[in-house]
């Protein structure tokens, strides 16, 4: 990709931001805010989001979940059946000009359960796990922190149906492992899992996946040596019950949560199956969410410095940020475009800053702000070699093309 042609350029400064990720993602040209809590994803942002979704899809498919796509527009009657039309305080309600009322879905139990009902007849149809990745809506009084807490946001939600509690618990453990893999691949090394009650969504047990950061809004008591963590309100420990280390307290962002829904929704929609013993039973259900856009924001909260974003390799918009300097010189120009061509022919993702009317300093600042893992420079100084630098490392090396290919 030529930076000169990329839609969404960096900005010198921005006003009115309320988290680091909001500031950096806007300034670097990944997102753009339409109104409080409503964002657009520009090409760089869309690539990152798609990479996060690809990582999630792979792990979902590995635990035998199948992808579907359900609508955001839910007829009111579905939410009345589960008694949630009036009990979910952030439910977005809209009225059609033809008098029908709808919810803009913040979650999808109200559509997945009647859908599953059409296909689940016997124990042989279980277990069943379906997921999708779509926009979700929350009618927040005050949206804040950029894409960390939007009115419209991206989410992967998975729902599973089981013949009994034991089968659900087995699957639930598989999802925990899959989630930890997903977060690790996305560059979040430290995830703290808390066990909590799930508020208006469920009365059963649930787990939350938290990332420690000052931008968070949950107060977490946690152990630095192991994965132990608790929400502040319910915590009653000063030392870790697992490894006796002293506990710490900090803010955290919740990037994922999983619930045991029991039979609540299957009962509401009268979804039953015939078990081996010939009796009709309600399946036991689990629900598992990851906020995809919130995850993207959290990754930036964790991975940045005073100059900009430092993307983890797996989800960076491009692998290489190639900078051509002195491009008015014919030889250098040719070297730069040749290198770009050779790399892209090897299917290596390159963002090539080929602008001729921009200073070297400005290009370096932009590269640091955008945060692509590897920066390459072709200039008068480098001759037929290439300057190589990693975004998260100060060391600069002058290397040949072959050495570069070996490195990447």
| DSSP class of 247 | P
**C-alpha 36 chain-centroid distance:** 20
Q: Report the nearest approach of Zn ion to the CB of residue 245 (Å).
A: 5
| Binding to Zn ion in span 22-51, by CB under 5 A | none
Gyration radius of the chain's alpha carbons? 24
- Residue whose CB is less far from Zn ion, 126 or 240: 240
Using CB under 5 A as the binding criterion, the count of chain residues that bind Zn ion stands at: 8
Task: Specify the residue, 139 or 227, whose C-beta has the smaller distance to Zn ion.
Answer: 227
Report the first-to-last Cα separation within the chain, whole angstroms: 18
Whether 127 and 161 have beta carbons less than 8 Å apart is answered as: yes
Nearer Cβ to Zn ion (103/240): 240
Q: What CA–CA distances, in Å, run from 269 to 71, 73, 209?
A: 18, 18, 30
**Whats the size of the chain, residue-wise?**
408
Question: Nearest distance from residue 244's CB to Zn ion, in Å?
Answer: 7
| Residue span binding Zn ion (CB under 5 A) among the ranges 171-179, 233-241, 313-321, 354-362 | 233-241
How far apart are the C-alpha atoms of 174 and 19, rounded to whole Å? Answer: 33
Q: Rule CB under 5 A: choose which of 242, 248, 346, 380 binds Zn ion.
A: 242
Q: In terms of CB distance, is 53 or 227 closer to Zn ion?
A: 227
Nearest distance in Å: CB 247, Zn ion: 8
Nearer to Zn ion, 221 or 258 (CB): 221
CB of 249 to Zn ion, least distance (A): 14
**CB of 197 vs Zn ion, minimal distance in Å:** 23
The nearest distance, CB 303 to Zn ion, in angstroms, is 25
Shortest gap between Cβ of 223 and Zn ion (angstroms)? 3
List 94, 234, 243, 398, residue binding Zn ion (CB under 5 A): 243
Sole window of 245-253, 261-269, 275-283, 344-352 interacting with Zn ion (rule: CB under 5 A):
245-253
The H or E element that residue 316 is part of is none
The closest alpha carbon to 202, from 155, 261, 287, belongs to 261
Give the whole-angstrom CA distance, residue 96 versus residue 203.
33
283 DSSP assignment: P
* Helices of type H across 211-283: 264-268
Q: Of 57, 317, 56, which Cα lies nearest the Cα of 186? A: 56
Cα–Cα distance for residue pair 318/147, rounded to 1 Å: 21
CA distance 354 to 127: 53
Window 200-229: contact mask with Zn ion (x via CB under 5 A): -----------------------x-xx-x-
Instruction: With H, G, I as helix, E, B as strand and everything else as coil, classify residue 6.
Output: coil
Q: What whole-number distance in Å separates Cα of residue 60 and Cα of residue 55?
A: 9
For Zn ion, the closer of residues 223 and 295 by Cβ is 223
405 binds Zn ion per the rule CB under 5 A: no
- Cα 151 to Cα 134: distance, rounded to the nearest angstrom: 14
Site for Zn ion in 146-185 (CB under 5 A): none
Looking at the Cβ atoms of 228 and 318, the one nearer to Zn ion is: 228
| Choice between 230 and 382, CB closer to Zn ion | 230
Please identify, using beta-carbon distances, which residue of 200 and 245 lies nearer to Zn ion: 245
- Provide, rounded to whole angstroms, the least separation between the CB of residue 117 and Zn ion: 44
Site stretch for Zn ion (CB under 5 A), options 143-151, 168-176, 237-245, 381-389: 237-245
239 binds Zn ion (CB under 5 A): no
Toward Zn ion, which CB reaches closer, 28 or 240? 240
Least Å from the CB of residue 229 to Zn ion? 9
Q: Answer yes or no whether residue 240 interacts with Zn ion by CB under 5 A.
A: yes
Task: Provide the minimum distance between the beta carbon of 276 and Zn ion in the complex, in angstroms, as a whole number.
Answer: 43
Per-residue DSSP letters for 61-72?
Answer: HHTT-EE----S
| Residue-wise burial string across 302-338, b where 16 or more C-beta atoms lie within 10 A, e elsewhere | bbbeeebbbbbeebbbbbbbbbbbbbeeeebbebbbe
Restricted to residues 296-355, the positions that interact with Zn ion (CB under 5 A) are: none
Instruction: Say how many C-beta atoms besides its own lie within 10 A of residue 228's C-beta.
Output: 19
Tally DSSP H helices, then E strands, for the chain: 10, 23
Q: Which residues bind Zn ion (CB under 5 A)?
A: 223, 225-226, 228, 240, 242-243, 245
């Amino acid at each position: 990709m030529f930076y000169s042609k990329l839609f969404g350029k960096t900005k010198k400064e921005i006003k009115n931001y309320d988290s680091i990720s909001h500031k950096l993602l806007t300034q670097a040209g990944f997102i753009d805010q339409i109104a409080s809590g409503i964002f657009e994803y520009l090409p760089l942002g869309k690539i990152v989001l798609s990479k996060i979704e690809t990582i999630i899809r792979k792990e979902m498919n590995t635990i035998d979940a199948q992808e579907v796509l359900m609508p955001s527009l839910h007829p009111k009657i579905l939410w009345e059946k589960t008694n949630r039309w009036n009990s979910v305080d952030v439910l977005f309600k809209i009225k059609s000009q033809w008098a029908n009322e709808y919810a803009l879905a913040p979650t999808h139990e109200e559509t997945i359960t009647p859908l599953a009902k059409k296909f689940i007849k016997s124990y042989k149809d279980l277990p069943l796990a379906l997921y999708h990745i779509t926009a979700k809506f929350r009618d927040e009084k005050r949206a804040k922190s950029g894409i960390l807490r939007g009115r419209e946001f991206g989410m992967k939600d998975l729902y599973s149906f089981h013949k009994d509690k034991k089968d659900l618990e087995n699957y639930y453990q598989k999802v925990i492992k899959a989630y930890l893999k997903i977060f690790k691949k996305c560059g979040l090394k430290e995830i703290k899992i808390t066990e909590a009650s799930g508020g208006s969504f469920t009365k059963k047990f649930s787990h939350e996946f938290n990332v420690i950061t000052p931008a968070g809004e949950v107060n977490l008591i946690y152990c630095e040596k192991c994965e132990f963590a608790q929400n502040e309100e319910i915590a009653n420990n000063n030392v870790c019950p697992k490894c006796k280390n002293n506990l710490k307290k900090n803010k955290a962002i919740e990037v994922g949560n999983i619930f045991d829904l029991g039979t609540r929704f299957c009962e509401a929609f009268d979804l039953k199956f015939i078990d081996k013993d010939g009796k009709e039973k309600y399946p036991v259900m689990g629900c598992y969410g990851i906020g995809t856009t919130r995850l993207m924001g959290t990754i930036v909260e964790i991975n940045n410095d005073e100059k900009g974003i430092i993307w983890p390799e797996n989800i960076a918009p491009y692998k290489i940020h190639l900078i051509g300097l002195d491009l008015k010189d014919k030889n250098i120009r040719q070297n730069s475009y040749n290198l770009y061509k050779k790399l892209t022919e090897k299917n290596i993702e390159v963002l090539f800053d080929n602008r001729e009317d921009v200073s070297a300093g400005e290009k370096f600042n932009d590269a640091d702000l955008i945060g692509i893992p590897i920066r390459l420079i072709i200039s008068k100084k480098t001759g037929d070699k290439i300057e190589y630098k990693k975004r998260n490392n100060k060391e600069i090396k002058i290397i040949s093309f072959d050495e570069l290919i070996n490195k990447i």
